[in-house]
């Protein structure tokens, strides 16, 4: 295992080094939060794929393959479908807005700032829990690597992510995500996938030794697939962590086509995880938990060195999602909640407020909160379900409604967020966190409130809509909060 340890240590040291290098580039709010809005197609595609394919997509995706066979690909597949839909239909418009958060988009669309405050709180809760669930996954990986206890594993992995994210912001995260994308591609698609299939005796042997429903594309169940679409496909359309990556694109064309490539990559990754899990079922039919399938097949079947690289791939998957969720959480907390509470707003002079230092402090603060919460919470699936239920039930309708329906009003948006969010919370308490009803009926309640209240209240002011159309067209300049300094 010494070679494997060396691979992991070199990888982690490289992540910290990139954080230090990224610090030299992050001299303005734009550079720190959205990488100066200048990523080209290749880097944009790699980083977008890296953030959406986290620990749940890698370890969880293999686990679903172990339990359900090829139909276990549906969870990650719906993530890819969501990214494709976002890229093809919405990303160009989102990139042209030149904002930093989803709540800022709501303020521009509806006016008044009232919708942005409440949506900021909901989005903050979502990004916090997303970062927490990613951080919890460190325990699984470091337990395989170093046989250390859960708390120490979370602190170790979380501290590395917090360190490089705090140092360089989005530039550091972008650079590390590109490395993580390459490591995941080599480790999971090019090494683990073919080795697992060969070790299991090939597809013919797998079909002979497993029930036929393991090779049924719909074996996981229609209702489960529908729920995945609601939660993950729609969740991809509106999450701050995803939008913040769209904001990094240097053009709307980059956002559209780069995202399309990343979404297609996700579809391939989904199938690979399910096949690896199916092969693990043949090799280890009596594992205690499906989520142990990834670690078991890596530990038992891969040669020294390759094992270290594949474990680094799993670590890369967790780190990319964790860092993306962390900077999204900190951005929302600072820009949408704290700055409003302090009364800074857009009228505050930039020189009175060091925005890079402020955002850096919020990443550190949120990072500590994420590590502490991850230590306290045991159930990853429940935490992730709460996050996505609140996101989809509370924010999907007012965000997409604002993009496609000009009659939507600020009061309709507020009613949609409040009614949908409360409905999700009440239904989770009544039916259980993992039930399907909260997201189903919460989304319907949110839609009904948006339509009824919007039609019952005065239309959005014409000046607000005119400014909104200017933004969508890309003709309105970004609101500069501080001068951009060239990298040294």
* 481 within domain boundaries: no
- Helices assigned H by DSSP within 185-292: 193-199, 202-209, 222-228, 234-238, 240-246, 252-283
* 351 within domain boundaries: no
CA dihedral of residues 110, 115, 121, 127 (deg, nearest 10): -20
Q: Residue for token digits 């916090």?
A: 128
330 lies in the same domain as 410: no
Residues 6+ apart with CB under 8 A from 96: 252, 471, 472, 473, 474
* 183 within domain boundaries: yes
425 lies in the same domain as 326: no
* 230 within domain boundaries: yes
Residues 6+ apart with CB under 8 A from 248: 34, 35, 37, 38, 39, 44, 47, 170, 174
* 350 within domain boundaries: no
Distances (CA, A) of 476 to 103, 115, 178, 246, 468: 18, 22, 31, 18, 9
202: part of which helix (H) or strand (E)? helix 202-209
Q: Which pTM was predicted?
A: 0.86
What string of pLDDT tens digits covers the 488 residues of the chain? 677 778 778 877 887 887 777 777 777 888 888 888 889 999 999 999 988 888 778 888 999 999 999 999 999 999 999 999 999 999 988 888 888 888 888 888 988 666 667 888 888 988 898 888 888 877 767 766 677 788 888 888 888 889 888 888 888 888 888 888 888 899 899 999 999 999 999 999 999 999 999 999 999 999 999 989 988 899 899 889 899 999 999 988 999 999 999 999 999 999 999 999 999 999 999 888 888 888 889 888 888 878 888 888 877 878 888 888 899 999 999 888 888 777 654 444 444 346 788 888 999 999 999 999 888 876 666 777 888 888 899 899 999 999 889 999 999 999 999 999 999 999 999 998 888 889 899 999 999 999 999 999 999 999 999 989 888 887 666 654 443 333 33
* 128 within domain boundaries: yes
State how many domains the chain has: 2
144 lies in the same domain as 214: yes
Q: What 3-state class would DSSP assign to 39?
A: strand
317 lies in the same domain as 436: no
Its domain, for residue 107, covers 1-336+359-377
**CATH number, domain at 209?**
1.20.1730.10
* 342 within domain boundaries: no
**Rounded to an integer, what distance in angstroms lies between the CA atom of residue 263 and that of residue 45?**
9
Do 56 and 78 contact (CB within 8 A), yes or no?
no
128 lies in the same domain as 195: yes
227 lies in the same domain as 168: yes
404 lies in the same domain as 454: yes
303 lies in the same domain as 266: yes
330 lies in the same domain as 424: no
* 346 within domain boundaries: no
373 lies in the same domain as 405: no
């Amino acid at each position: 295992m010494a070679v494997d340890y060396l691979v992991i240590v070199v990888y982690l040291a490289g992540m910290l080094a990139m954080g230090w290098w990224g610090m030299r580039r992050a001299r303005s709010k734009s550079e720190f939060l959205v990488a100066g809005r200048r990523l080209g197609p290749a880097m944009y595609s790699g980083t977008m794929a890296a953030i959406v394919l986290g620990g749940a997509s890698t370890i969880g995706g293999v686990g679903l393959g172990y339990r359900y066979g090829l139909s276990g690909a549906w969870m990650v597949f719906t993530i890819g479908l969501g990214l494709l839909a976002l890229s093809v239909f919405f990303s160009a418009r989102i990139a042209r807005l030149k904002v930093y958060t989803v709540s800022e988009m709501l303020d521009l669309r509806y006016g008044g700032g009232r919708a942005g405050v409440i949506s900021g709180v909901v989005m903050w809760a979502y990004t916090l829990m997303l970062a927490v669930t990613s951080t919890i996954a460190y325990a699984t990986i470091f337990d395989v690597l170093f046989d250390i206890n859960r708390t120490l594993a979370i602190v170790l992995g979380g501290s590395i992510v917090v360190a490089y994210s705090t140092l360089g912001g989005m530039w550091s995260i972008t650079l590390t995500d590109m490395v993580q994308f390459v490591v995941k591609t080599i480790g999971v698609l090019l090494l683990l996938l073919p080795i697992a299939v060969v070790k299991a005796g090939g597809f013919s042997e797998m079909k002979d030794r497993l029930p036929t429903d393991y090779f049924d594309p719909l074996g996981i169940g229609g209702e489960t697939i529908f729920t995945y679409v609601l939660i993950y496909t729609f969740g991809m359309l509106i999450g701050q962590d995803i939008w913040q990556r769209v904001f990094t694109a240097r053009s709307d064309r980059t956002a559209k086509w780069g995202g399309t490539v990343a979404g297609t990559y996700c579809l391939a990754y989904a199938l690979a995880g399910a096949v690896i899990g199916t092969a693990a079922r043949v090799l280890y039919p009596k594992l205690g938990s499906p989520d142990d399938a990834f670690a078991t097949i890596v530990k038992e079947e891969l040669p020294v060195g390759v094992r270290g690289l594949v474990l680094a791939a799993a670590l890369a998957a967790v780190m990319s999602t964790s860092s993306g969720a962390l900077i999204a959480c900190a951005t929302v907390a600072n820009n949408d909640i704290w700055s409003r509470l302090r009364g800074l707003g857009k009228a505050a002079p930039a020189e009175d407020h060091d925005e890079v230092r402020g955002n850096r402090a919020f990443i550190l603060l949120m990072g500590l909160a994420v590590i502490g919460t991850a230590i306290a919470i045991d159930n990853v699936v429940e935490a992730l379900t709460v996050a996505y239920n609140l996101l989809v039930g509370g924010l999907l309708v007012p965000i997409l409604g604002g993009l496609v329906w000009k009659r939507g009003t600020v009061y309709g948006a507020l009613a949609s967020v409040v009614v949908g969010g409360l409905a999700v919370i009440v239904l989770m308490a009544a039916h259980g966190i993992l039930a399907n009803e909260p997201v189903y009926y919460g989304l319907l309640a949110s839609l009904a409130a948006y339509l009824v209240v919007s039609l019952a209240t005065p239309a959005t002011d014409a000046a607000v809509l005119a400014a909104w159309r200017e933004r969508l067209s890309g003709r309105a300049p970004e609101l500069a909060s501080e001068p951009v300094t060239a990298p040294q």
